[in-house]
Amino acid sequence: MSVDGILREAEAKMAKSIQYLEQELATIRTGRANPALLERVTVSYYGTPTPLNQLAQILAPEPRLLVVQVYDRSQTGAVERAIRDSGLGLNPTNDGQVIRVPIPPLTEERRREYVRMVRQRAEEGRVAVRNIRRDELHRIQQQERAGELPTDQARRAQEQLQRITDQHVSRIDVIANRKEAEVMEV
């Protein structure tokens, strides 16, 4: 594979790592209602674990309230139980038509716990990006050793790879800082 191909592939993989990180951070609770908060909740739908977003429409009509409208009304009780048992600290109420999930304000201790989670996930994202850099750097060095790539071109490619890595790591930092501020917002 050409050097440009290696660099493009590295950039694409790093972008996917950042996209995954953003999805992970969306599931961390803040003081504000966000439908992504319930994305990881699974419901036993006729014996099959099914993601909640496939069984219901999740809306955030107010800053501190989620409304879950279940498509199959016979499953409303199961959905309510799944939300309650999800470990998110939510207490849904069911009025027969929709499930209302009030989002309680976070305590200071809980906020700090969530900030630690954000930092941990961000570090995992940085490690993933650095692992991609390591793998692609190895590919460049193999080509150089095999004589397929001149030394000066290999060095330029390594420098470009480092710049791409630095850009993605700084994007991760920006995303993590934004999420931390969101969590700490009262």
Q: pLDDT tens digits for 48-79?
A: 898 988 889 999 888 888 999 989 888 888 88
Domain residue limits, the chain: 3-26+107-184, 35-102
Residue among 57, 85, 83 nearest 69 (CA): 57
The structure's pTM equals 0.76
CATH no. for 35-102 = 3.30.1360.40
pLDDT per residue as tens digits for the range 111-161 = 898 899 999 999 999 999 999 999 999 999 999 999 888 999 999 999 999
Coil, strand or helix: which one is 68?
strand
**3-26+107-184 domain in CATH 1.10.132.20?**
yes
Rounded CA gap, 88 and 37, in Å? 9
Choice among 13-17, 149-153, 182-186 with the minimum mean pLDDT: 182-186
Angle between helix 151-184 and helix 108-145 axes, rounded to 10 deg: 170
Q: Are 140 and 161 in contact (CB under 8 A)?
A: yes
In 3-state terms, what secondary structure has residue 98? coil
**Segment 88-113 mean pLDDT:** 86
Lowest mean pLDDT among 24-33, 40-49, 59-68, 166-175: 24-33
Instruction: Indicate the average pLDDT of the chain.
Output: 89
Dist. CA 139–CA 137, nearest whole Å: 5
